[in-house]
């Protein structure tokens, strides 16, 4: 799908508004042309620059001569019957009325466009956000978060500013130009054809500048994405920035990116600002050429055109300049906006590698167990997991241990289908999980990650986040008590209704982790995934929360990743991973007796 056809796709639901916009604009153009066409001939009759026309016009013919004859006869009758003063008053009132209707229809055209403009942007932003939510986890390891945010905010806004707001101009001005060209053609087909031969030269020049503007705009939005990422990283890591006295280093990085963005933006604005004066200059140049060529033809009488009619032709032609100027400005803005459409399109067109099958099965219960059968996983052509085989019966606890980078978290991420296996199969109750719909798989799982993931919301809403039903205060409080979070929550300013700030920044690391554990407790899932869930807790909190986790794990199937022996020594089976492969497996006691890799990890406490 091309960038412009994508915009047209979003315009389809607003066909009625677009039709009304075009119709109202046509009416506005008609009144504009009529107001211009009637004044000059009337004044010529009124001030005796042309004799009054006493004879009615002949039979109708589609020509300028007939229109002029009919108009002059009508104006003559008005002057003869009412006198010159009354005729002048009548024409002045008519001009005012015509301009009133011209501007009324112009407003109605803009009114019809307003809903279309905002509706298109709403739909683009909604689709882009929906796609972001649907994209696999791996997508966000490749893309800068700041760049994704820029595409959803700045780029979408640029589409509204540069394209949608210019659609009114793009629809209106060509119609206006066409109306004036038709008027010119009726006056003098020869001169109009000459104009049409000269104008394409200006179009070529404007088009070349538009191409460079689109390229510069694309680069500028990319730079803005880098800036957003740098700002996000700096704010998120402010403790480290200040703790390592790296303020000047971050400032230098920011200044370098900001300077690059400045130069690109300046170059882009120079090209855009050139559009209006350039188009006006070239239009006036064309008017001068037509004035010279046409004037010589009138003087030599090689063109059957009276001097007054030629002046009227030039006046009409000069009226093309404002809409042509507006259209060229709109053209430049649209070129600039298409760069943003292209960047948004990269999100909308990004492949969803993890998705529901064509005829998904709903996973309504978990009765037997989980099996990994000859599972291989490759990420970015690098093997991460190789030949993983194990069976986890319902209600049992499986622990994954190994040094950093061994593949523990990746293995756990395959279970809720954050990624799909490259080879082999993962089965729940003897059915490949790729046959289930994603929502039903994840509905039976509770996840607590190493890094507490919280939202800028209240304590209550963060705990209730994973439950898709109304939750009572009693249920949330009970979950918080199990996670040893109730005591510190009640000491907050507004208790469970206290806003915890961005990513829970108002809480300590241990408090944040206990809220994520309370969230898993409230969901009450049959399968738990605990990815170093107690790593952020102090010794006292760890003991209390560990007791709560052990209670939560009773009669539940649990996959545990931990760096602490207390977390995994009571597991039903322990898998020792090295470089993506299972090198040992068994219980804590059997692995300790084997004197192998597991014992070395225990001795080093290097899980």
Residue for token pair 């500028």: 220
Q: Are 390 and 583 in contact (CB under 8 A)?
A: no
Q: How far apart are CA 130 and CA 123, in angstroms?
A: 10
Total-model pTM: 0.67
Q: Inform me whether the pLDDT recorded for 197 exceeds 60.
A: yes
Reference 607, options 571, 558, 555, 557; nearest CA is: 571
List pLDDT tens digits, range 575-605. 999 989 999 999 999 999 988 888 888 887 6
Sequence-ordered list of residues with C-beta below 8 angstroms from that of 438, at least 6 positions apart, any chain: 354, 355, 356, 417
Pairing of strands 527-531, 445-448: parallel
Range with top average pLDDT, 10-19, 63-72, 312-321, 355-364: 355-364
295's tokens = 């004037």
Q: What angle do CA 471, 476, 479 make, to 5 degrees?
A: 130
Report which of residues 33 and 413 the model is more confident about: 413
Reference 342, options 64, 9, 5; nearest CA is: 5
Rounded mean pLDDT, 338-342: 79
List pLDDT tens digits, range 489-534. 999 889 999 988 877 878 877 788 888 888 888 888 899 888 876 6
Pairing of strands 423-428, 431-432: antiparallel
Mean pLDDT across the chain: 78
List pLDDT tens digits, range 237-259. 665 565 556 677 777 877 887 78
Reference 579, options 375, 376, 385, 377; nearest CA is: 385
Pairing of strands 431-432, 445-448: unpaired
Burial of residue 249, with CB atoms counted within 10 A of its CB: 0-12 exposed, 13-18 middle, 19 or more buried: exposed
Q: Detail the DSSP E strand segments found in 320-468.
A: 369-379, 382-393, 397-401, 423-428, 431-432, 445-448
Q: Inform me whether the pLDDT recorded for 178 exceeds 90.
A: no
Q: What is 369-604's CATH superfamily?
A: P-loop containing nucleotide triphosphate hydrolases (3.40.50.300)
Q: Are 408 and 569 in contact (CB under 8 A)?
A: no
Rounded mean pLDDT, 381-400: 91
Q: How far apart are CA 603 and CA 607, in angstroms?
A: 10
Q: How far apart are CA 349 and CA 352, in angstroms?
A: 9
CATH number, span 172-350: 1.20.1560.10
Rg (CA), the chain: 37
Total length of the chain: 607
């Amino acid at each position: 799908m091309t960038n412009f056809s994508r915009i047209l796709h979003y315009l389809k639901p607003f066909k009625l508004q677009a039709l009304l916009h075009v119709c109202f604009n046509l009416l506005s153009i008609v009144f504009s042309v009529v107001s211009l066409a009637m004044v000059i001939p009337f004044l010529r009759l009124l001030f005796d620059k042309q004799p009054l026309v006493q004879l009615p016009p002949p039979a109708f013919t589609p020509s300028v001569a007939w229109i002029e004859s009919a108009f002059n006869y009508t104006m003559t009758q008005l002057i003869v019957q009412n006198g010159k003063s009354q005729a002048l008053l009548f024409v002045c009132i008519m001009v005012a009325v015509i301009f009133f209707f011209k501007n009324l229809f112009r407003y109605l055209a803009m009114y019809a466009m307003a809903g279309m403009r905002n509706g298109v942007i709403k739909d683009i932003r909604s689709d882009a956000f929906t796609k972001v939510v649907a994209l696999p986890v791996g997508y966000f390891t490749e893309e800068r978060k700041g760049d994704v945010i820029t595409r959803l905010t700045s780029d979408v806004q640029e589409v509204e500013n540069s394209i949608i707001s210019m659609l009114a101009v793009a629809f209106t001005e060509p119609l206006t130009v066409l109306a004036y060209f038709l008027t010119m053609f009726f006056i003098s087909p020869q001169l109009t054809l000459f104009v049409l031969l000269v104008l394409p030269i200006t179009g070529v020049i404007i088009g070349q500048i538009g191409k460079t503007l689109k390229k510069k705009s694309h680069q500028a939005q990319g730079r803005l994405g880098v800036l957003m990422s740098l700002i996000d990283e700096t704010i998120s890591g402010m403790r480290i920035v200040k703790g390592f006295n790296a303020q000047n280093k971050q400032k230098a990085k920011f200044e370098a990116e900001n300077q690059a963005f400045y130069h690109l933006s300046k170059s882009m604005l120079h090209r855009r600002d050139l559009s209006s004066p350039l188009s006006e200059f070239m239009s006036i140049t064309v008017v001068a050429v037509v004035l010279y060529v046409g004037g010589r033809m009138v003087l030599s009488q090689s063109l059957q055109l009276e001097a007054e009619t030629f002046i009227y032709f030039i006046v009409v032609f000069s009226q093309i300049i404002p809409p042509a100027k507006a259209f060229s400005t709109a053209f430049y803005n649209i070129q600039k906006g298409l760069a943003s459409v292209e960047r948004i399109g990269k999100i909308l067109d990004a492949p969803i590698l993890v998705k529901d099958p064509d005829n998904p099965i709903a996973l309504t219960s978990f009765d037997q167990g989980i099996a990994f059968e000859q599972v291989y996983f490759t990420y970015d052509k690098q093997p991460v997991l190789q030949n993983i085989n194990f069976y986890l019966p319902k209600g049992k606890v499986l622990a994954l241990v190994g040094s950093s980078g061994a593949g523990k978290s990746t293995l756990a991420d395959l279970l809720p289908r954050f990624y799909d296996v490259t080879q082999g199969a993962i089965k729940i109750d003897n059915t490949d999980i790729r046959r289930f719909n994603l929502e039903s798989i994840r509905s039976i799982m509770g996840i607590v990650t190493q890094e507490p993931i919280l939202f800028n919301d209240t304590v209550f809403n963060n705990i209730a986040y994973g439950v898709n039903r109304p939750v009572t205060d009693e249920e949330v409080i009970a979950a918080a008590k199990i996670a040893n979070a109730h005591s510190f929550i009640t000491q907050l300013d507004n208790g469970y209704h206290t806003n915890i700030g961005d990513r829970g920044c108002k809480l300590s690391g241990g408090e944040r982790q206990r809220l994520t554990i309370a969230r898993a407790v409230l969901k009450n899932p049959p399968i738990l995934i605990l990815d170093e869930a107690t790593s952020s807790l102090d010794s006292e909190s760890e003991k209390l929360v560990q007791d709560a986790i052990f209670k939560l794990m009773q009669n539940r199937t649990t996959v545990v990743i931990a760096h602490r022996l207390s977390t995994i020594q009571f597991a039903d089976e322990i898998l020792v991973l090295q470089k993506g492969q299972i090198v040992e497996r068994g219980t804590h006691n059997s692995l300790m007796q084997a004197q192998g890799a597991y014992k070395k990890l225990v001795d080093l406490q290097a899980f």
